[in-house]
Each structure stands twice: as C-alpha cells, then as structure tokens.
Structure 1
Amino acid sequence: MTSTTSAGQERKAPGRPRSAQADEAILDAVLALMAEGQSAAAVSIESVAAKAGVGKATIYRRWPNKEALLIDAVRCMKGPLPALGGVSAREDLIALVTANRSNRAREYGIVTACLLPELQRDPELNRMHQAVMEPRRERMREILRRGVETGEFRADLDIHLTVLMLSGPSMMLGMFGDATGVPEQDFPEKLVDALLRGASA
C-alpha cells in the first residue's frame, strides 16, 4: 500500500454538499470491517461501500484513496481531545486516558490490532497515523511537564517514557480485554495512580 497524500490533504474537494450521515456510515463501515477481523490490507473501497450502503463514487468524492480513509477512521475512533480542567496534573491525565476509553473499547482494540501490521509495512500510512496520534502524545507531555514545574511530579521524571507507560496499558486492555486480568471499571484512575506512585515528587 502506498500513498503520496499528506494527512492534512487527504480529502478531495466535494462536487456536491457533504452529507455528515454518509461520512459517519462510511467511517463506521471501515471500523466494523476491521473489528470483524479484516486486516487493513484486506479492507477495500468496494467492501466499505457495500457495508455502508453507498456507492464507491460517494467514497472517492470524500477520500482520494484507502489510506486517507483508514486514517480518518482512526481519527474518528480516537475522538476529539477532551477539555482539561487544569486543577491537577493527575486529574488531567485521568481525563486523557478516559477519553481513549469508550463502550466500544474492545471493538477499537481489535481495529488497532488489525491496523498495526500495515503500519509496520507502509511508511506513509505510518506517518499519517503518527500525525493523528502526536497531538494526543504532546498534550500528555504538556501535562507531565506542568506537573514537574508545579512540584506535583518528581524533577527527574522521564517525560517520554512516562507517556509510553500511560499509553501501552490502555492499548493492551483494548486489544485483549479480560485476558489481561485488569477490569475496565475505574481503569483510568487506577492506571494513573499506579504510575504516580513512582512519579510523584
């Protein structure tokens, strides 16, 4: 799979007014196909169109290629970044972790597992995916830096390693669910608090 389209330029200008309902149906179809176990490579514009109940032309009016469609599906899956209260770094970290959890966490975990091999094989798709994920990682780094500055976290905290430590468990829980032995209930609070036992000043 190859692509020369940047994440910021992935959609063609539409020839007619956009339908939010059609957009949602198409993106949901991508996620549903991958949640059923189809690899990113196996998902086709034809199968997405059939699943969404639209014509292929409807998809191509919105996305120039499958790579751009996949990345928009990931962006939809992740949702918007939450508004943060700024009361404490702990509360803001919990809000970020919570924003990555939903009642579709298990489904999205399967989608992530199906997407990972393709990200390894396709540098351009990987770059587009990183462009979606980087704002979330940077928001988490900002919170950690603020916690260091205010004395909430230890001065020698490894910011990048801590981001990795916060992100990895959430992804694993989404992919493997009950097999991890970790319950979904109160997971964001438990994760943040477990990490803060070593990170607190």
Structure 2
Amino acid sequence: MSQTRERLPAQVAAGSPGAGGSEGSMSSGRPAGAARPPGRPRSERADKAIVEATVDLLAEEGGVAGVSIEAVAARAGVGKTTIYRRWPNKEALIIDALAALKEPFPAPVGASVREDLIAIAQAFVSNKTDKKRLDCYWSIMGGAERYPELMARFTREVIEPRRDVIRTVLRRGVTAGELRPDLDVETALWLIMGALAQRARAFGAGPVPDDFAARVVDALMTGIAAR
C-alpha cells in the first residue's frame, strides 16, 4: 500500500501539531508547497465532489471494501483519470476523505488548561453529531484488522496530530504548575478522548448537552490538577 502523504486543503488549521489535524494541499504525490506543474488548473469543484462521493460510499457501503475508484468516479460525475491525477490509489483518496471529516481542534490559547481542554472537547463532540461522519468513522474503525496499513496511516496522519494538541496543553499545564508534576500525560489523554469517543459510540449522532464537554473536563481535572 502506498505510503505517499496526501492532504486536503480543507484541513488547513488541522495540519500542524499545534492545531490538531492534517494540513497541506490535496496531493498527487508532489511535496506540499511545491510548484504545480504546467497544465490545466485543478477544479476545486471536482475535488469536493470526489471527496464527498468517497465519504458517501464509505457511509453507505459500510467500509473500505465498498469503495472503488470506479464507484467514486460515477458518484462524483468525473472520469477515473480525474481521480488518478489527484490521488495515486484508493487508499490515498480514503485518507483524504476521512481527513476532511475531522474538524480542526482549536489552537490552545493558553488561558488555562481547563479552558483549552473544554474548547478541544467541544470541537470533538461537535464533530460527532453528524450521522454520516460517524458512520464513516466507525466503518473504518471496524475494519482496522482487515486494513491495518490504512488504519495505521489514518492514525498517523489524521488522529495523532489531534492528540498532540491535547498533549501540548497537558504538558504546558504541568510546566505552569496547573497540573500535578507527576502527571502521566498519555493516561490523561486517553481518559479525555476515551470518554468523548465512547459517548459518541454509545449514543450516536444527535444533540449533546451544552455542558457535556465541561463536565468531562472537570471530572478529569479533579484527578490531575495540582494540589
């Protein structure tokens, strides 16, 4: 499976480790920021149609196996060559489509650990209130054993940068004396993300209480705040 790195323009804020997601332009194998070769300009409308078609198929067909370049092309109303000019293979397209579903975490402003974690938790929760997004996410998670390389790449390129945002907040809190000096950052990370993800899995898409993110963070802070 290709290990070429591809990115979506929609994930501008999400790409840097400090912003929590993928960054850069949708790739056809060219390094991010490199000059585009001469030729016909790419159509943003086609880009969007292709990504949306991929997301729809992932949700409707229940996973990676139900997605093909032929099906995406037919759904998006483009030719297969249009897709291959942008992505080298199906796996690269799926990674970009999944990245498009992930709203960027807000950049930590540094007011306090609690405020930053609540803002991140609210962004996480709001990203899980759309049924199609959830269907895509769980279809990929459910197929992790069948597509280990795809899952590893999805984790590395889409999930880990978001986790890094939380790690940054927690480590800053330790340094500033807001959090316990002996804090296990990874355990705290999994506690907050696990609680938020499990809520989405248990209850699915739909309204979330306005104070849910704050309640999760406050429960966590009870155990990790400096005393």
The Cα shift of 1:183 comes to 5.9
Secondary structure (helix, strand or coil) at the match of 2:143 reads: helix
Secondary structure (helix, strand or coil) at the match of 1:119 reads: coil
The Cα shift of 1:35 comes to 2.3
- Residue by residue over 1:92-122, the C-alpha shift from the partner in whole angstroms, topping out at 9 and shown as x without a partner, is 1122222222375332221111001333333
Q: CA–CA distance in 2 between the matches of 1:49 and 1:185?
A: 39
Contact kept, 8 Å, 1:30 with 1:48, in 2: the verdict is: yes
User: Are residue 80 (structure 1) and residue 109 (structure 2) matched?
Assistant: no
How many equivalent pairs are there? 197
Report the TM-score, using the length of structure 2 for normalisation.
0.76
Listed as ranges, the matches of 1:39-188 within 5 Å are 39-100=63-124, 101-102=126-127, 104-129=129-154, 130-177=156-203, 184-186=208-210, 187-188=212-213
Bigger helix fraction: 1
Contact kept, 8 Å, 1:109 with 1:171, in 2: the verdict is: no
Report the TM-score, using the length of structure 1 for normalisation.
0.85
Secondary structure (helix, strand or coil) at the match of 1:41 reads: helix
**1:5: which partner in 2?**
3
Letter in 2 for 1:11: S
Letter in 2 for 1:147: G
Contact kept, 8 Å, 2:106 with 2:123, in 1: the verdict is: yes
Percentage of identical aligned residues: 44
* Segments of 4+ moved more than 6 angstroms: none
Structure 1 residues 55, 175: closer, same or farther in 2, change over 3 A? farther
- What is the CA RMSD across the aligned residues, in angstroms? 2.5
**Match for residue 20 of structure 1 among 44, 68, 81:** 44
**2:16: which partner in 1?**
none
